[in-house]
Chains A and B, each alone.
Chain A
Amino acid sequence: MRNTKGVQKIAFFFLFLATLLIVVPVGLIVVIIIQKGLPAINWQFLSDIPRQGMRAGGIFPAIIGTFYLVLGAIIFALPIGLLAAIYLSEYAKDNVLNRIIKLAIVNLSGVPSVVYGLFGLALFVVFLKFGASILSGSLTLGIMILPIIITTSREALESVPQSFREVSLSLGASKWQTIRHIVLPNAIPGILTGTILGLGRAAGETAPILFTVAAFYLPQLPKSIFDQAMALPYHLYVISTQVPNVDEKIRYGTALVLLSLVLFMNLVAIIIRYNFRKKKKW
Protein backbone atom coordinates (compact mmCIF):
# COMPACT_ATOMS: atom_id res chain seq x y z
CA MET A 1 0.00 0.00 0.00
CA ARG A 2 2.77 2.46 0.87
CA ASN A 3 4.30 1.80 -2.47
CA THR A 4 1.11 2.75 -4.34
CA LYS A 5 1.19 6.15 -2.75
CA GLY A 6 4.80 6.67 -3.71
CA VAL A 7 4.10 5.71 -7.31
CA GLN A 8 1.15 8.07 -7.34
CA LYS A 9 3.31 10.93 -6.13
CA ILE A 10 5.88 10.28 -8.86
CA ALA A 11 3.16 10.05 -11.50
CA PHE A 12 1.62 13.32 -10.36
CA PHE A 13 5.05 14.95 -10.38
CA PHE A 14 5.69 14.02 -14.01
CA LEU A 15 2.18 14.99 -15.09
CA PHE A 16 2.65 18.36 -13.44
CA LEU A 17 6.08 18.76 -15.02
CA ALA A 18 4.72 18.02 -18.49
CA THR A 19 1.96 20.56 -17.99
CA LEU A 20 4.41 23.13 -16.72
CA LEU A 21 6.54 22.61 -19.83
CA ILE A 22 3.68 23.98 -21.92
CA VAL A 23 3.70 27.23 -20.00
CA VAL A 24 7.45 27.81 -20.26
CA PRO A 25 7.78 28.34 -24.04
CA VAL A 26 4.69 30.55 -24.14
CA GLY A 27 6.05 32.67 -21.33
CA LEU A 28 9.53 32.82 -22.87
CA ILE A 29 8.23 33.86 -26.27
CA VAL A 30 6.14 36.63 -24.82
CA VAL A 31 8.86 37.86 -22.46
CA ILE A 32 11.65 37.86 -25.04
CA ILE A 33 9.56 39.57 -27.68
CA ILE A 34 8.32 42.22 -25.30
CA GLN A 35 11.82 42.79 -23.92
CA LYS A 36 13.44 43.19 -27.31
CA GLY A 37 10.51 44.74 -29.16
CA LEU A 38 9.15 47.26 -26.72
CA PRO A 39 11.97 49.83 -27.24
CA ALA A 40 11.01 50.03 -30.92
CA ILE A 41 7.36 50.84 -30.23
CA ASN A 42 6.57 54.52 -30.57
CA TRP A 43 4.08 56.56 -32.50
CA GLN A 44 6.34 56.93 -35.52
CA PHE A 45 6.88 53.14 -35.71
CA LEU A 46 3.14 52.52 -35.76
CA SER A 47 2.12 55.33 -38.10
CA ASP A 48 4.98 55.85 -40.59
CA ILE A 49 5.86 54.05 -43.82
CA PRO A 50 9.07 51.99 -43.91
CA ARG A 51 12.10 54.05 -44.93
CA GLN A 52 15.74 53.42 -45.95
CA GLY A 53 14.98 49.99 -47.38
CA MET A 54 12.89 49.01 -44.38
CA ARG A 55 15.77 49.71 -41.98
CA ALA A 56 13.99 52.70 -40.48
CA GLY A 57 10.62 54.34 -40.40
CA GLY A 58 7.50 52.46 -39.41
CA ILE A 59 5.29 49.54 -40.34
CA PHE A 60 2.01 51.34 -40.91
CA PRO A 61 1.36 49.91 -44.42
CA ALA A 62 1.83 46.38 -43.07
CA ILE A 63 -0.61 46.99 -40.22
CA ILE A 64 -3.18 48.41 -42.62
CA GLY A 65 -2.58 45.58 -45.10
CA THR A 66 -3.16 42.95 -42.44
CA PHE A 67 -6.26 44.81 -41.32
CA TYR A 68 -7.69 44.80 -44.86
CA LEU A 69 -6.83 41.14 -45.38
CA VAL A 70 -8.46 40.04 -42.15
CA LEU A 71 -11.53 42.15 -42.85
CA GLY A 72 -11.82 40.75 -46.37
CA ALA A 73 -11.37 37.18 -45.15
CA ILE A 74 -14.16 37.59 -42.60
CA ILE A 75 -16.54 39.27 -45.06
CA PHE A 76 -16.11 36.25 -47.28
CA ALA A 77 -15.90 33.44 -44.73
CA LEU A 78 -18.44 34.44 -42.07
CA PRO A 79 -21.62 34.39 -44.19
CA ILE A 80 -20.65 31.21 -46.02
CA GLY A 81 -19.42 29.48 -42.89
CA LEU A 82 -22.45 30.48 -40.86
CA LEU A 83 -24.94 29.43 -43.52
CA ALA A 84 -23.13 26.11 -43.96
CA ALA A 85 -23.16 25.59 -40.20
CA ILE A 86 -26.91 26.31 -40.04
CA TYR A 87 -27.50 23.85 -42.84
CA LEU A 88 -25.38 21.16 -41.21
CA SER A 89 -26.81 21.54 -37.72
CA GLU A 90 -30.47 22.30 -38.49
CA TYR A 91 -31.34 20.80 -41.85
CA ALA A 92 -28.86 18.12 -42.91
CA LYS A 93 -30.04 14.56 -42.53
CA ASP A 94 -27.55 11.78 -41.93
CA ASN A 95 -26.89 10.67 -45.51
CA VAL A 96 -23.92 10.07 -47.79
CA LEU A 97 -23.78 13.59 -49.23
CA ASN A 98 -23.76 15.24 -45.83
CA ARG A 99 -21.16 12.85 -44.51
CA ILE A 100 -18.97 13.79 -47.47
CA ILE A 101 -19.49 17.48 -46.66
CA LYS A 102 -18.50 16.94 -43.03
CA LEU A 103 -15.46 14.92 -44.08
CA ALA A 104 -14.46 17.71 -46.47
CA ILE A 105 -14.61 20.27 -43.66
CA VAL A 106 -12.42 18.14 -41.41
CA ASN A 107 -9.92 17.71 -44.23
CA LEU A 108 -10.00 21.39 -45.08
CA SER A 109 -8.82 22.19 -41.58
CA GLY A 110 -5.92 19.74 -41.99
CA VAL A 111 -4.54 21.25 -45.18
CA PRO A 112 -1.15 22.95 -44.60
CA SER A 113 -1.36 26.70 -45.02
CA VAL A 114 1.27 26.81 -47.78
CA VAL A 115 -1.03 24.60 -49.85
CA TYR A 116 -3.78 27.19 -49.43
CA GLY A 117 -1.28 29.71 -50.74
CA LEU A 118 -0.60 27.66 -53.87
CA PHE A 119 -4.30 27.03 -54.34
CA GLY A 120 -5.03 30.75 -54.04
CA LEU A 121 -2.30 31.49 -56.55
CA ALA A 122 -3.72 29.02 -59.06
CA LEU A 123 -7.40 29.89 -58.63
CA PHE A 124 -7.66 33.56 -57.71
CA VAL A 125 -4.42 35.09 -58.98
CA VAL A 126 -4.02 33.19 -62.23
CA PHE A 127 -7.29 31.55 -63.26
CA LEU A 128 -9.74 34.24 -62.13
CA LYS A 129 -7.15 36.91 -63.06
CA PHE A 130 -7.49 38.87 -59.81
CA GLY A 131 -3.70 39.17 -59.84
CA ALA A 132 -1.68 39.41 -56.63
CA SER A 133 -4.16 41.57 -54.75
CA ILE A 134 -5.97 42.13 -51.50
CA LEU A 135 -8.96 40.35 -53.06
CA SER A 136 -6.97 37.18 -53.83
CA GLY A 137 -5.30 37.18 -50.42
CA SER A 138 -8.56 37.74 -48.56
CA LEU A 139 -10.31 34.95 -50.41
CA THR A 140 -7.41 32.57 -49.75
CA LEU A 141 -7.37 33.43 -46.05
CA GLY A 142 -11.16 33.15 -46.03
CA ILE A 143 -11.05 29.59 -47.31
CA MET A 144 -8.39 28.77 -44.74
CA ILE A 145 -10.53 29.91 -41.80
CA LEU A 146 -13.81 28.46 -43.13
CA PRO A 147 -13.44 25.19 -41.22
CA ILE A 148 -12.81 27.05 -37.94
CA ILE A 149 -15.91 29.16 -38.44
CA ILE A 150 -18.09 26.24 -39.56
CA THR A 151 -17.00 23.96 -36.74
CA THR A 152 -17.37 26.49 -33.92
CA SER A 153 -20.65 27.83 -35.32
CA ARG A 154 -22.05 24.32 -35.58
CA GLU A 155 -21.09 23.59 -32.00
CA ALA A 156 -22.70 26.84 -30.89
CA LEU A 157 -25.92 26.06 -32.78
CA GLU A 158 -26.07 22.50 -31.51
CA SER A 159 -25.59 23.59 -27.92
CA VAL A 160 -28.90 25.48 -28.03
CA PRO A 161 -31.28 23.13 -26.19
CA GLN A 162 -33.62 21.08 -28.35
CA SER A 163 -36.51 22.07 -26.09
CA PHE A 164 -36.26 25.69 -27.28
CA ARG A 165 -36.80 24.52 -30.84
CA GLU A 166 -39.71 22.30 -29.82
CA VAL A 167 -41.52 25.07 -27.96
CA SER A 168 -41.02 27.50 -30.79
CA LEU A 169 -42.38 25.05 -33.36
CA SER A 170 -45.26 24.10 -31.06
CA LEU A 171 -46.26 27.76 -30.90
CA GLY A 172 -46.69 27.73 -34.65
CA ALA A 173 -43.34 29.16 -35.70
CA SER A 174 -41.89 27.86 -38.94
CA LYS A 175 -38.52 26.15 -38.93
CA TRP A 176 -36.82 29.23 -40.33
CA GLN A 177 -38.51 31.52 -37.77
CA THR A 178 -37.35 29.18 -35.05
CA ILE A 179 -33.77 29.36 -36.30
CA ARG A 180 -33.93 33.10 -36.82
CA HIS A 181 -35.59 34.10 -33.54
CA ILE A 182 -34.56 31.38 -31.10
CA VAL A 183 -31.57 29.33 -32.22
CA LEU A 184 -29.36 32.03 -33.75
CA PRO A 185 -29.64 34.63 -30.96
CA ASN A 186 -28.65 32.01 -28.41
CA ALA A 187 -25.76 30.80 -30.53
CA ILE A 188 -24.28 34.19 -31.38
CA PRO A 189 -21.67 34.36 -28.59
CA GLY A 190 -20.30 30.97 -29.68
CA ILE A 191 -20.29 32.01 -33.32
CA LEU A 192 -18.54 35.24 -32.42
CA THR A 193 -15.89 33.37 -30.48
CA GLY A 194 -15.17 31.13 -33.45
CA THR A 195 -15.06 34.08 -35.80
CA ILE A 196 -12.54 35.94 -33.70
CA LEU A 197 -10.35 32.85 -33.38
CA GLY A 198 -10.50 32.63 -37.17
CA LEU A 199 -9.53 36.31 -37.41
CA GLY A 200 -6.50 35.70 -35.21
CA ARG A 201 -5.44 32.80 -37.37
CA ALA A 202 -5.89 34.83 -40.57
CA ALA A 203 -3.87 37.75 -39.16
CA GLY A 204 -0.91 35.58 -38.26
CA GLU A 205 -0.49 33.29 -41.26
CA THR A 206 2.28 33.97 -43.77
CA ALA A 207 2.10 31.18 -46.32
CA PRO A 208 -1.40 31.84 -47.76
CA ILE A 209 -0.57 35.49 -48.51
CA LEU A 210 2.92 34.78 -49.79
CA PHE A 211 1.87 34.21 -53.42
CA THR A 212 -1.47 35.91 -53.42
CA VAL A 213 -1.06 39.43 -52.10
CA ALA A 214 1.99 40.25 -50.07
CA ALA A 215 4.28 42.95 -51.38
CA PHE A 216 7.98 42.79 -50.54
CA TYR A 217 8.25 46.53 -50.15
CA LEU A 218 5.45 48.95 -50.88
CA PRO A 219 5.83 52.22 -49.01
CA GLN A 220 2.27 53.39 -49.66
CA LEU A 221 -1.24 52.38 -48.74
CA PRO A 222 -3.32 50.21 -51.10
CA LYS A 223 -5.92 52.16 -53.06
CA SER A 224 -8.26 49.35 -54.11
CA ILE A 225 -8.86 45.66 -53.43
CA PHE A 226 -6.97 44.89 -56.63
CA ASP A 227 -3.74 46.38 -55.24
CA GLN A 228 -0.98 44.45 -53.61
CA ALA A 229 -0.39 45.19 -49.97
CA MET A 230 2.18 44.67 -47.27
CA ALA A 231 1.19 42.46 -44.35
CA LEU A 232 2.70 42.05 -40.90
CA PRO A 233 3.68 38.35 -40.98
CA TYR A 234 5.29 38.60 -44.41
CA HIS A 235 6.98 41.90 -43.55
CA LEU A 236 8.46 40.22 -40.51
CA TYR A 237 9.77 37.40 -42.67
CA VAL A 238 11.29 39.88 -45.12
CA ILE A 239 13.08 42.05 -42.60
CA SER A 240 14.31 39.00 -40.70
CA THR A 241 15.78 37.04 -43.61
CA GLN A 242 15.79 38.99 -46.86
CA VAL A 243 17.11 42.41 -45.94
CA PRO A 244 20.55 42.66 -44.38
CA ASN A 245 21.39 44.94 -41.47
CA VAL A 246 17.91 45.54 -40.13
CA ASP A 247 18.06 46.61 -36.51
CA GLU A 248 17.01 43.82 -34.15
CA LYS A 249 14.74 46.34 -32.44
CA ILE A 250 12.66 46.77 -35.58
CA ARG A 251 12.28 43.04 -36.13
CA TYR A 252 11.17 42.38 -32.60
CA GLY A 253 8.99 45.46 -32.63
CA THR A 254 7.17 44.11 -35.68
CA ALA A 255 6.82 40.71 -34.02
CA LEU A 256 5.44 42.39 -30.91
CA VAL A 257 2.80 44.26 -32.90
CA LEU A 258 1.74 41.07 -34.68
CA LEU A 259 1.69 39.04 -31.49
CA SER A 260 -0.29 41.70 -29.64
CA LEU A 261 -2.82 41.81 -32.44
CA VAL A 262 -3.38 38.03 -32.38
CA LEU A 263 -3.37 37.74 -28.58
CA PHE A 264 -5.75 40.67 -28.33
CA MET A 265 -8.22 38.94 -30.65
CA ASN A 266 -7.97 35.71 -28.68
CA LEU A 267 -8.49 37.65 -25.46
CA VAL A 268 -11.67 39.20 -26.85
CA ALA A 269 -12.89 35.73 -27.78
CA ILE A 270 -12.17 34.45 -24.28
CA ILE A 271 -14.00 37.36 -22.66
CA ILE A 272 -17.07 36.86 -24.82
CA ARG A 273 -17.15 33.15 -24.05
CA TYR A 274 -16.67 33.77 -20.34
CA ASN A 275 -19.53 36.28 -20.16
CA PHE A 276 -21.76 33.96 -22.11
CA ARG A 277 -21.10 30.99 -19.84
CA LYS A 278 -21.85 33.12 -16.81
CA LYS A 279 -25.21 34.15 -18.21
CA LYS A 280 -26.23 30.72 -19.49
CA LYS A 281 -28.60 29.08 -17.06
CA TRP A 282 -30.52 26.36 -18.86
Chain B
Amino acid sequence: MADIKVNNLNLWYGDFQALINVDAHFTRNQITAMIGPSGCGKSTLLRVFNRMNDLIEGVRVKGQVIIDAENIISDKTDLVVLRKKVGMVFQRPNPFPLSIYENIVFGQKIHAEGLTRLKLDEVVEDSLKSVLLWDELKDKLNKSALSLSLEQKQRLCIARLIAVRPEILLMDEPCSTLDPQATSRVEELMRELKNNYTIIIVTHNMQQAARVSDETGFMLLGELVEFGKTQDIFTSPKDKRTEDYITGRYG
Protein backbone atom coordinates (compact mmCIF):
# COMPACT_ATOMS: atom_id res chain seq x y z
CA MET B 1 0.00 0.00 0.00
CA ALA B 2 1.46 3.30 -1.00
CA ASP B 3 1.24 6.97 -0.23
CA ILE B 4 2.11 9.64 -2.75
CA LYS B 5 4.24 12.57 -1.62
CA VAL B 6 4.51 15.48 -4.02
CA ASN B 7 7.28 18.01 -3.40
CA ASN B 8 7.64 21.23 -5.35
CA LEU B 9 6.30 19.77 -8.60
CA ASN B 10 6.45 21.87 -11.75
CA LEU B 11 5.34 20.84 -15.23
CA TRP B 12 5.53 22.57 -18.59
CA TYR B 13 3.84 21.82 -21.93
CA GLY B 14 6.41 23.53 -24.13
CA ASP B 15 6.42 27.09 -22.81
CA PHE B 16 3.14 26.80 -20.94
CA GLN B 17 3.50 26.00 -17.24
CA ALA B 18 0.62 23.70 -16.29
CA LEU B 19 1.67 22.87 -12.71
CA ILE B 20 3.30 25.38 -10.39
CA ASN B 21 5.08 24.40 -7.16
CA VAL B 22 2.61 21.71 -6.17
CA ASP B 23 3.09 20.16 -2.72
CA ALA B 24 0.73 17.51 -1.45
CA HIS B 25 0.48 14.25 0.41
CA PHE B 26 -2.02 11.64 -0.74
CA THR B 27 -2.73 9.25 2.09
CA ARG B 28 -3.30 5.50 1.72
CA ASN B 29 -6.75 3.99 2.24
CA GLN B 30 -8.37 7.31 1.55
CA ILE B 31 -10.17 8.91 -1.32
CA THR B 32 -8.66 12.24 -2.24
CA ALA B 33 -10.65 14.42 -4.61
CA MET B 34 -9.05 17.01 -6.88
CA ILE B 35 -11.42 19.80 -7.85
CA GLY B 36 -11.04 22.98 -9.85
CA PRO B 37 -12.20 24.63 -13.07
CA SER B 38 -11.33 23.15 -16.49
CA GLY B 39 -7.70 23.59 -17.43
CA CYS B 40 -6.55 24.08 -13.83
CA GLY B 41 -4.10 21.17 -14.10
CA LYS B 42 -5.88 18.54 -12.02
CA SER B 43 -5.88 15.92 -14.79
CA THR B 44 -2.29 16.83 -15.61
CA LEU B 45 -1.33 16.23 -11.98
CA LEU B 46 -3.10 12.87 -12.06
CA ARG B 47 -1.22 11.88 -15.19
CA VAL B 48 2.10 12.69 -13.55
CA PHE B 49 1.52 9.87 -11.07
CA ASN B 50 1.52 7.15 -13.74
CA ARG B 51 3.66 9.11 -16.20
CA MET B 52 0.96 9.17 -18.89
CA ASN B 53 2.12 12.70 -19.65
CA ASP B 54 5.16 11.09 -21.25
CA LEU B 55 2.97 10.38 -24.30
CA ILE B 56 2.72 14.09 -25.04
CA GLU B 57 5.66 15.60 -26.83
CA GLY B 58 7.39 18.55 -25.22
CA VAL B 59 6.46 17.86 -21.60
CA ARG B 60 9.04 18.76 -18.94
CA VAL B 61 8.64 17.88 -15.28
CA LYS B 62 10.68 19.08 -12.31
CA GLY B 63 10.37 18.23 -8.64
CA GLN B 64 9.64 15.10 -6.69
CA VAL B 65 6.82 12.61 -6.64
CA ILE B 66 7.67 9.95 -4.08
CA ILE B 67 5.92 6.58 -4.21
CA ASP B 68 7.44 3.80 -2.08
CA ALA B 69 10.59 5.84 -1.43
CA GLU B 70 11.24 6.31 -5.13
CA ASN B 71 11.07 9.54 -7.10
CA ILE B 72 8.97 8.40 -10.04
CA ILE B 73 9.77 11.54 -12.05
CA SER B 74 13.30 10.22 -12.55
CA ASP B 75 14.34 8.96 -15.99
CA LYS B 76 15.39 5.71 -14.35
CA THR B 77 11.87 4.84 -13.28
CA ASP B 78 10.66 1.55 -14.75
CA LEU B 79 7.36 2.64 -16.28
CA VAL B 80 6.01 -0.90 -16.49
CA VAL B 81 6.53 -1.40 -12.74
CA LEU B 82 5.15 2.05 -11.96
CA ARG B 83 2.02 1.59 -14.06
CA LYS B 84 1.34 -1.80 -12.54
CA LYS B 85 1.40 -0.12 -9.16
CA VAL B 86 -0.46 3.03 -10.19
CA GLY B 87 -3.52 2.26 -12.29
CA MET B 88 -5.87 4.62 -14.06
CA VAL B 89 -9.60 4.75 -14.76
CA PHE B 90 -10.43 7.05 -17.63
CA GLN B 91 -13.21 9.52 -18.26
CA ARG B 92 -14.84 7.54 -21.03
CA PRO B 93 -15.29 3.84 -20.31
CA ASN B 94 -12.86 2.26 -22.73
CA PRO B 95 -13.00 -1.52 -22.77
CA PHE B 96 -11.05 -3.21 -25.56
CA PRO B 97 -13.17 -4.62 -28.40
CA LEU B 98 -12.70 -8.09 -26.93
CA SER B 99 -14.81 -10.35 -24.75
CA ILE B 100 -15.46 -9.48 -21.12
CA TYR B 101 -13.14 -12.29 -20.10
CA GLU B 102 -10.36 -11.20 -22.46
CA ASN B 103 -10.58 -7.63 -21.17
CA ILE B 104 -9.97 -8.67 -17.60
CA VAL B 105 -7.11 -11.06 -18.28
CA PHE B 106 -5.33 -8.55 -20.53
CA GLY B 107 -3.05 -7.42 -17.69
CA GLN B 108 -2.30 -11.02 -16.74
CA LYS B 109 -1.27 -11.81 -20.29
CA ILE B 110 0.86 -8.70 -20.63
CA HIS B 111 2.66 -9.37 -17.37
CA ALA B 112 2.79 -13.11 -18.10
CA GLU B 113 1.39 -13.96 -14.71
CA GLY B 114 -0.77 -16.93 -13.78
CA LEU B 115 -1.49 -18.04 -17.30
CA THR B 116 -3.18 -21.33 -16.46
CA ARG B 117 -6.84 -21.38 -17.31
CA LEU B 118 -7.73 -22.09 -13.69
CA LYS B 119 -5.77 -19.09 -12.40
CA LEU B 120 -7.20 -16.79 -15.05
CA ASP B 121 -10.75 -17.90 -14.22
CA GLU B 122 -10.03 -17.08 -10.62
CA VAL B 123 -8.70 -13.61 -11.48
CA VAL B 124 -11.78 -12.90 -13.61
CA GLU B 125 -14.13 -13.98 -10.86
CA ASP B 126 -12.31 -12.05 -8.12
CA SER B 127 -12.04 -8.88 -10.19
CA LEU B 128 -15.67 -8.94 -11.27
CA LYS B 129 -16.76 -9.62 -7.69
CA SER B 130 -14.82 -6.67 -6.39
CA VAL B 131 -16.67 -4.34 -8.78
CA LEU B 132 -20.00 -6.09 -8.05
CA LEU B 133 -20.47 -7.31 -11.62
CA TRP B 134 -19.98 -11.02 -11.10
CA ASP B 135 -23.62 -11.94 -10.62
CA GLU B 136 -24.70 -9.92 -13.63
CA LEU B 137 -22.02 -11.12 -16.01
CA LYS B 138 -20.88 -14.58 -14.90
CA ASP B 139 -22.95 -16.29 -17.60
CA LYS B 140 -21.82 -14.09 -20.47
CA LEU B 141 -18.10 -13.77 -19.98
CA ASN B 142 -17.49 -14.52 -23.65
CA LYS B 143 -19.74 -11.76 -24.91
CA SER B 144 -18.16 -8.64 -26.35
CA ALA B 145 -17.41 -5.99 -23.75
CA LEU B 146 -18.78 -3.43 -26.20
CA SER B 147 -22.29 -4.80 -25.68
CA LEU B 148 -22.39 -3.68 -22.04
CA SER B 149 -24.09 -0.55 -20.69
CA LEU B 150 -21.94 2.50 -19.95
CA GLU B 151 -21.96 1.81 -16.23
CA GLN B 152 -21.09 -1.85 -16.73
CA LYS B 153 -18.30 -0.82 -19.10
CA GLN B 154 -16.82 1.55 -16.54
CA ARG B 155 -17.04 -1.12 -13.83
CA LEU B 156 -15.43 -3.58 -16.20
CA CYS B 157 -12.58 -1.10 -16.77
CA ILE B 158 -12.10 -0.89 -13.00
CA ALA B 159 -12.15 -4.70 -12.81
CA ARG B 160 -9.58 -4.90 -15.60
CA LEU B 161 -7.41 -2.54 -13.60
CA ILE B 162 -7.86 -4.39 -10.30
CA ALA B 163 -6.77 -7.61 -12.00
CA VAL B 164 -3.28 -6.08 -12.33
CA ARG B 165 -3.29 -5.62 -8.51
CA PRO B 166 -2.34 -1.95 -8.32
CA GLU B 167 -1.92 -0.06 -5.05
CA ILE B 168 -3.09 3.32 -6.22
CA LEU B 169 -6.16 4.04 -8.36
CA LEU B 170 -6.23 7.26 -10.35
CA MET B 171 -9.72 8.16 -11.51
CA ASP B 172 -10.11 10.88 -14.10
CA GLU B 173 -13.75 11.99 -13.90
CA PRO B 174 -14.87 8.36 -13.86
CA CYS B 175 -18.58 9.19 -13.64
CA SER B 176 -18.84 12.02 -16.13
CA THR B 177 -20.56 9.85 -18.75
CA LEU B 178 -22.88 8.10 -16.29
CA ASP B 179 -26.40 8.96 -15.19
CA PRO B 180 -27.06 9.90 -11.52
CA GLN B 181 -28.09 6.41 -10.40
CA ALA B 182 -25.09 4.79 -12.00
CA THR B 183 -22.89 7.53 -10.56
CA SER B 184 -24.07 6.85 -7.05
CA ARG B 185 -23.48 3.12 -7.50
CA VAL B 186 -19.94 3.73 -8.74
CA GLU B 187 -19.36 6.06 -5.78
CA GLU B 188 -20.52 3.27 -3.49
CA LEU B 189 -17.97 1.02 -5.18
CA MET B 190 -15.24 3.60 -4.59
CA ARG B 191 -16.00 3.68 -0.86
CA GLU B 192 -15.70 -0.09 -0.85
CA LEU B 193 -12.41 -0.02 -2.76
CA LYS B 194 -10.71 2.51 -0.54
CA ASN B 195 -10.18 -0.18 2.11
CA ASN B 196 -7.65 -1.75 -0.20
CA TYR B 197 -6.39 1.09 -2.38
CA THR B 198 -5.21 4.66 -2.32
CA ILE B 199 -7.71 6.49 -4.53
CA ILE B 200 -7.33 9.86 -6.18
CA ILE B 201 -10.31 11.15 -8.11
CA VAL B 202 -10.46 14.15 -10.40
CA THR B 203 -13.96 15.51 -10.61
CA HIS B 204 -15.92 18.48 -11.90
CA ASN B 205 -18.75 17.60 -9.61
CA MET B 206 -18.34 19.22 -6.21
CA GLN B 207 -21.16 17.26 -4.67
CA GLN B 208 -19.33 14.13 -5.69
CA ALA B 209 -16.12 15.34 -4.07
CA ALA B 210 -18.05 16.16 -0.90
CA ARG B 211 -19.83 12.80 -0.93
CA VAL B 212 -16.98 10.38 -1.50
CA SER B 213 -13.69 11.95 -0.50
CA ASP B 214 -11.81 12.12 2.77
CA GLU B 215 -9.48 14.84 1.61
CA THR B 216 -9.86 17.42 -1.13
CA GLY B 217 -7.43 19.55 -3.08
CA PHE B 218 -8.54 22.67 -4.93
CA MET B 219 -6.49 23.67 -7.98
CA LEU B 220 -6.53 26.88 -9.94
CA LEU B 221 -4.32 27.87 -12.90
CA GLY B 222 -1.76 25.17 -12.15
CA GLU B 223 -1.48 25.90 -8.43
CA LEU B 224 -2.72 23.73 -5.60
CA VAL B 225 -4.54 26.47 -3.73
CA GLU B 226 -5.77 24.48 -0.79
CA PHE B 227 -5.52 20.91 0.40
CA GLY B 228 -7.08 19.38 3.50
CA LYS B 229 -9.90 17.43 5.05
CA THR B 230 -12.91 17.48 2.74
CA GLN B 231 -15.16 18.68 5.54
CA ASP B 232 -12.87 21.62 6.25
CA ILE B 233 -12.52 22.58 2.59
CA PHE B 234 -16.26 22.65 2.07
CA THR B 235 -17.31 24.22 5.38
CA SER B 236 -14.48 26.56 6.28
CA PRO B 237 -12.10 27.12 3.35
CA LYS B 238 -9.02 29.11 4.32
CA ASP B 239 -8.43 30.65 0.91
CA LYS B 240 -10.77 33.21 -0.64
CA ARG B 241 -10.41 31.56 -4.08
CA THR B 242 -11.49 28.18 -2.74
CA GLU B 243 -14.53 29.76 -1.17
CA ASP B 244 -15.41 31.52 -4.41
CA TYR B 245 -15.16 28.27 -6.34
CA ILE B 246 -17.16 26.04 -4.01
CA THR B 247 -19.87 28.65 -3.65
CA GLY B 248 -20.11 28.65 -7.44
CA ARG B 249 -18.73 32.06 -8.22
CA TYR B 250 -16.56 30.68 -11.03
CA GLY B 251 -15.58 27.46 -12.75
Contacts and interface: CB of A to CB of B under 8 A. Distances in A.
Contact of B106 (A163, A166, A181, A281): A181
Contact of A171 (B81, B97, B164): B164
Interface string A92-109: 010000000000000000
B107 A282 contact: no
Interface of A: 93, 161, 163-164, 166-174, 177, 181-182, 186, 280-282
Contact of A163 (B83, B92, B161): B92
Contacts of A171: 83-84, 87, 106-107, 110, 160-161, 164
A186 B161 CA distance: 21
A161 B146 CA distance: 14
B25 interface: no
Contacts of A170: 50, 52, 83, 87-88, 90
Given A171-B160, A172-B80, A177 B110 contact: yes
A13 to B, nearest CB: 44
B68 to A, nearest CB: 15
B83 A167 contact: no
Interface string B73-88: 0000001110110011
B146 A172 contact: no
Contacts of B84: 171-172
B94 A167 contact: yes
Contacts of A177: 110
Q: Which of A163, A167, A182, A280 has its CB near the most chain B CB atoms (within 10 A)?
A: A167
Interface in B147-161: 157, 160-161
Q: Chain B interface: which size bin?
A: 20 to 34
A167 B52 contact: no
A282 B88 contact: no
A166 B55 contact: yes
A90 to B, nearest CB: 12
B111 interface: yes
Nearest to B164: A171
Nearest to A164: B96
B140 interface: no
A188 to B, nearest CB: 12
A282 B110 contact: no
Contacts of A281: 97, 146
A103 B21 CA distance: 44
A181 B106 CA distance: 9
B96 to A, nearest CB: 6
B50 A182 contact: no
29 contacts: A93-B57, A163-B94, A164-B94, A166-B55, A167-B90, A167-B94, A167-B157, A168-B106, A168-B110, A169-B83, A170-B50, A170-B52, A171-B106, A171-B160, A171-B161, A171-B164, A172-B79, A172-B81, A172-B83, A172-B84, A172-B110, A173-B80, A173-B110, A174-B80, A181-B106, A182-B96, A186-B97, A282-B97, A282-B146
B106 to A, nearest CB: 7
Contacts of B87: 170-171
Contacts of A181: 106, 109-110
Closest 10 CB pairs of A and B: A172-B84, A172-B83, A170-B88, A173-B110, A163-B94, A281-B146, A171-B107, A172-B80, A167-B94, A177-B110
A162 to B, nearest CB: 9
Contacts of B90: 163, 166-167, 170
Contacts of B88: 170
A179 B201 CA distance: 29
A281 B147 CA distance: 9
A93 B58 CA distance: 12
B86 to A, nearest CB: 9
A177 B96 CA distance: 14
Contacts of B160: 171
Given A171-B84, A173-B110, 17 more contacts: A163-B90, A167-B90, A168-B110, A169-B55, A170-B52, A170-B83, A171-B83, A171-B87, A172-B79, A172-B84, A173-B80, A174-B80, A181-B106, A280-B97, A281-B146, A282-B97, A282-B146
Nearest to B146: A281
Nearest to B92: A163
A186 B90 CA distance: 21
A157 to B, nearest CB: 15
Given A172-B84, A281-B146, A166 B110 contact: no
A168 B103 CA distance: 10
A232 B119 CA distance: 56
Q: Which of A169, A170, A174, A281 has its CB near the most chain B CB atoms (within 10 A)?
A: A170
Contacts of A168: 96, 106, 110
A167 B110 contact: no
Nearest to A180: B110
Nearest to B111: A172
